């Protein structure tokens, strides 16, 4: 007789009843348990011990340690800053645009141009528009942010008051497992402290600077000091997730332009659990630095953390609105924030006098975004993890319309591979957050493509497949208004870095899911790899999707390819994953009348939000490329510091309506 043992690994949730936890917190501990028997056995075990059975984990990798790199500055390129900052140190007026006095006695406050830009360092007045939020007394109060990193120095003068032990944990255990995330006192381990400072430096304590959410609580989960495992990452991302609102992760796979990896099974599960169970079911907010591999030609399509729908990937732009030189493009980037690229960025440190003036990399951009989200969550604590992403899509602005690569998608959102939806605007986001209507329930429509026989990728050529989608028409999973789109695929390749993969939506939006990477000579191909785009946000998925895999032969110098080689690889499997909502009143794209083209943007402008003066970019002159496809509604952000700010301090959006000809769906 053959005895078959089935191994099930289950995630269990244990509502911890323990003393010492702060009133109002309901900490959860998640366990992955490997055991014999099926799901019913696991359920019985859970019940027996007063645990809640959550789900079965298909397979858990053996816990091999791996490297996760911090996304701190690419060093050595900020040589001219010191000089400039000396010249400009005392030129800032600490008044907002309405003349309200916002004076802080923190000595480096005048240098914090990203929060209050009065042209301290350049003619650019671009900032994060945080003043009007602070003026409303929204400063992060009641919101908890945790930095998953190399620790947080809570003894720092500027962090002491806002430090939150219940949002903190030391997974490295060097002081024994504890709530003390104290990092080692060296430069290498100053990263998490710097991130924490940007969020929650104390205001008006005559020390260092001012955090963007200076009344938020901030903690640290000490994960990164040496190699980590999948289970350590998963533990961090679910730690005390009824208490912590926002997790900040400024790390990921090495940004060397070669590595292609992402969250392991437990971490994937943790991200899903967090968004479903965290914050009392409203969902944890995971803010992720999108990567610093720009100089090494890295592409964030090769980063599985960024490609997750649960993470909010944040890139960086300089004060001029130009993408930071170290940034990576991909259509999974949601937004950008300002960074200390060549200008100062004030934050705290675990070294020296505990205050620094420089911090760059997407590591400096993501905590700023987290700080803005802390303000947003104070303004409206009921927002779900998806509401927050919608708010970003609606309110992020085009900081530099002349930068090539902007396009307007089929639902009118402006999108860009380096900026996502654009630069975060705290004022506008908070304004819109206050009365935000929760989005409809989340749906997922999956379509697997039958690739039998597999499609051969000719050397130097391309493979193109068309995926006809009805958006799961008539089913419970029907989606007619998109949020994220993912493509899960397997392919073999003689030279992975030579590949580029694009997805064209039925509305004609082109997402470059994976770009070529000149340093990636791997022959491993893609194995069940998930790519993601936010660039079809709001579109109707109904119609033909076109997926193209191209072999850009010769991009990677290090690939040895035979002259006689005919095939560069083969496309083995493809699934299209459409996420979004169903709106019963939505008109189908293909029922619109073609050739009804109205080119004058602004001719039927209306405002959402408070009625105010406005000006807007004329699309034709703005560099925003309209492909003339199904742009029916354009919620085009029109923030322009020099015009029309008659509502106290808030910048504004206006809704432009334009009717364009309906495209014929591109097919192979």
291 binds Ca ion (CB under 5 A): yes
Is 548 exposed, middle or buried, given 0-12, 13-18 or 19+ CB atoms closer than 10 A? middle
**Of how many residues is the chain composed?**
668
Tell me if residue 191 is catalytic. yes
Task: Please report how close the Cβ of residue 201 comes to Ca ion at its closest, in angstroms.
Answer: 5
Give me the residue whose beta carbon is nearest to Ca ion. 291
Pick the catalytic residue from 124, 349, 363, 630. Answer: 363
Residue from 85, 106, 164, 198 in contact with Ca ion (CB under 5 A)? 106
Residue 116: partners with Cβ closer than 8 Å, 6 or more residues away: 92, 94, 96, 102, 127, 130, 131
The span of 2-10, 165-173, 290-298, 385-393 binding Ca ion (CB under 5 A) equals 290-298
Mark the segment that binds Ca ion (CB under 5 A) among 3-11, 98-106, 446-454, 584-592. 98-106
Per CB under 5 A, the list member of 196, 313, 411, 512 interacting with Ca ion is 313
Q: Which is nearer to Ca ion, 207 or 579 (CB)?
A: 207
The residues in 194-213 that bind Ca ion, with binding defined as CB under 5 A, are 201-202, 205, 207-208
Q: Site for Ca ion (CB under 5 A): how many residues?
A: 15
Contact call for residue 214 and Ca ion (CB under 5 A): no
Marked catalytic residue, from 96, 106, 153, 191: 191
Can you tell me the distance from the alpha carbon of 663 to that of 631, in angstroms, rounded to the nearest whole number?
A: 10
Identify whether the C-beta of residue 297 lies closer than 8 Å to the C-beta of residue 518: yes
CB of 456 vs Ca ion, minimal distance in Å: 29
For CA atoms 655, 434, 388, 160, give the dihedral sign: positive
Site track for Ca ion across 226-265, x = CB under 5 A: -----------------------------x----------
- Residue 437 CA to residue 439 CA, distance in Å, equals 6
Binding residues among 407-436 for Ca ion as defined by CB under 5 A: none
Q: Which residue number, 208 or 624, has a Cβ lying nearer to Ca ion?
A: 208
- Residues ≥6 apart with Cβ < 8 Å to 17: none
Give ∠ CA 409-415-420 in degrees, rounded to 5. Answer: 145
Closest to Ca ion by CB, 326 vs 660, is 326
Give the interface segment with Ca ion, choosing from 312-320, 342-350, 444-452, 456-464 (CB under 5 A): 312-320
Q: Interacting stretch for Ca ion, rule CB under 5 A, among 296-304, 562-570, 592-600, 605-613?
A: 296-304
Q: Which of 446, 467, 552, 577 is nearest to 501 (CA)?
A: 552
Q: Which helix (H) or strand (E) holds 198?
A: helix 191-200
CB 254 within 8 A of CB 71: no
- Is 149 annotated as catalytic? yes
Of positions 151, 183, 293, 538, contacts Ca ion by CB under 5 A: 293
Q: From residue 138 to residue 177, what is the string marking binding to Ca ion with x (rule CB under 5 A)?
A: --------------------x-------------------
d(CA 499, CA 493): 8
Sign of CA dihedral 121, 125, 126, 132: positive
Q: Which stretch binds Ca ion (CB under 5 A): 9-17, 118-126, 300-308, 522-530?
A: 300-308
Pick from 170, 205, 161, 176: nearest CA to 189: 170
Q: 28-36 and 7-15: which strand pairing? A: antiparallel
Q: Which of 96, 149, 245, 341 is catalytic?
A: 149
Say how far apart CA 549 and CA 567 lie, in whole Å.
13
Q: Per the structure block, which two tokens stand in for 257?
A: 């332009």
363 among known catalytic residues = yes
Rank residues 149 and 303 by Cβ distance to Ca ion and give the closer one.
Answer: 303
**List 139, 311, 349, 486, residue binding Ca ion (CB under 5 A):** 311
Q: Is 453 exposed, middle or buried (0-12, 13-18, 19+ CB in 10 A)?
A: exposed
Which CB atom, from 163 or from 243, has the smaller least distance to Ca ion? 163
Give first-to-last CA distance, the chain, whole Å: 54
User: What is d(CA 183, CA 86) in angstroms, rounded to the nearest whole number?
Assistant: 31
Q: Which is nearer to Ca ion, 533 or 638 (CB)?
A: 533
- Site residues, Ca ion (CB under 5 A): 106, 158, 201-202, 205, 207-208, 255, 291, 293, 298, 303, 308, 311, 313
């Amino acid at each position: 007789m053959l005895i078959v043992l089935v191994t099930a690994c289950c995630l269990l949730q244990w509502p911890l009843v323990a003393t010492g936890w702060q009133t109002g917190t309901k900490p959860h501990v998640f366990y992955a348990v490997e055991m014999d028997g099926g799901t019913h056995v696991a359920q019985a075990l859970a019940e027996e011990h007063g645990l809640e059975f959550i789900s079965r984990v298909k397979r858990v990798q053996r816990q091999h340690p791996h490297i996760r790199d911090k996304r701190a500055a690419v060093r050595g390129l900020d040589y001219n800053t010191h000089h400039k900052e000396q010249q400009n140190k005392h030129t800032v007026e600490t008044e907002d645009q309405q003349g309200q006095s916002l004076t802080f006695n923190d000595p480096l406050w005048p240098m914090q141009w990203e929060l209050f830009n009065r042209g301290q360092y350049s003619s650019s007045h671009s900032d994060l528009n945080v003043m009007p939020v602070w003026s409303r007394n929204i400063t992060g109060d009641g919101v908890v942010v945790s930095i998953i990193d190399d620790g947080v120095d809570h003894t720092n003068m500027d962090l002491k008051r806002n430090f939150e032990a219940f949002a903190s944990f030391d997974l490295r255990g060097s002081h024994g497992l504890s709530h003390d995330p104290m990092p080692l006192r060296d430069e290498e381990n100053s990263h998490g402290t710097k991130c924490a400072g940007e969020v929650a430096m104390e205001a008006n304590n005559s020390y260092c600077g001012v955090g963007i959410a200076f009344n938020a609580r901030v903690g640290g989960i000490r994960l990164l000091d040496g190699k980590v495992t999948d289970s350590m990452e998963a533990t961090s991302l679910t730690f005390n997730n009824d208490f912590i609102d926002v997790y900040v992760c400024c790390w990921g796979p090495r940004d060397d332009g070669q590595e292609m990896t992402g969250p392991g099974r437990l971490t994937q599960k943790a991200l899903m659990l967090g968004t479903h169970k965290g914050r009392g079911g409203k969902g944890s907010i995971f803010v992720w630095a999108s990567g610093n591999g720009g100089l090494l030609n890295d592409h964030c399509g090769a980063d599985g953390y960024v490609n997750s729908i649960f993470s909010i990937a944040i890139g960086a732009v300089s004060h001029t609105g130009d993408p930071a030189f170290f940034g990576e493009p991909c259509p999974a980037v949601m937004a950008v924030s300002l960074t200390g690229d060549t200008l100062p960025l004030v934050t705290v440190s675990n070294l020296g006098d505990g205050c620094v003036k420089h911090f760059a990399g997407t590591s400096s951009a993501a905590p700023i975004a987290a700080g803005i989200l802390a303000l947003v969550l104070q303004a409206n604590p009921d927002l779900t993890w998806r509401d927050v992403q919608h708010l970003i899509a609606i309110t992020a602005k085009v900081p530099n319309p002349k930068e090539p690569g902007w396009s307007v998608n089929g639902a009118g959102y402006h999108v860009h591979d380096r900026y996502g939806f654009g630069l975060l605007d705290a004022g506008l986001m908070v304004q819109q957050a206050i009365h935000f209507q929760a989005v409809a329930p989340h749906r997922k429509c999956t379509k697997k493509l039958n690739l039998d026989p597999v499609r051969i990728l000719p050397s130097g050529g391309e493979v193109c497949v068309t995926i006809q989608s009805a958006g799961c028409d008539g089913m419970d999973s029907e989606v007619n208004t998109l949020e994220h789109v993912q493509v899960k695929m397997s392919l073999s390749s003689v030279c992975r870095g030579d590949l580029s993969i694009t997805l064209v939506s039925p509305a004609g939006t082109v997402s470059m899911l994976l770009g070529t990477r000149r340093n990636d000579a791997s022959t491993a191909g893609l194995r069940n790899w998930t790519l993601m785009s936010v660039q079809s946000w709001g579109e109707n998925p109904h119609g033909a999707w076109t997926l193209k895999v191209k072999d850009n032969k010769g991009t990677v110098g290090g690939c040895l390819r035979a002259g006689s080689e005919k095939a560069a690889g083969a496309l083995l499997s493809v699934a299209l994953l459409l996420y979004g909502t169903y709106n019963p009143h939505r008109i189908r794209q293909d029922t619109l009348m073609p050739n009804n083209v109205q080119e004058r943007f602004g001719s039927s402008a209306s405002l959402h939000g408070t009625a105010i003066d406005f000006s807007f970019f004329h699309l034709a002159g703005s560099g925003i490329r309209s492909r003339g496809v199904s742009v029916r509604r354009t919620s085009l952000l029109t923030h322009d510091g020099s015009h029309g700010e008659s509502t106290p301090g808030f910048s504004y959006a206006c809704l432009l309506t334009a009717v364009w000809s309906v495209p014929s769906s591109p097919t192979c």
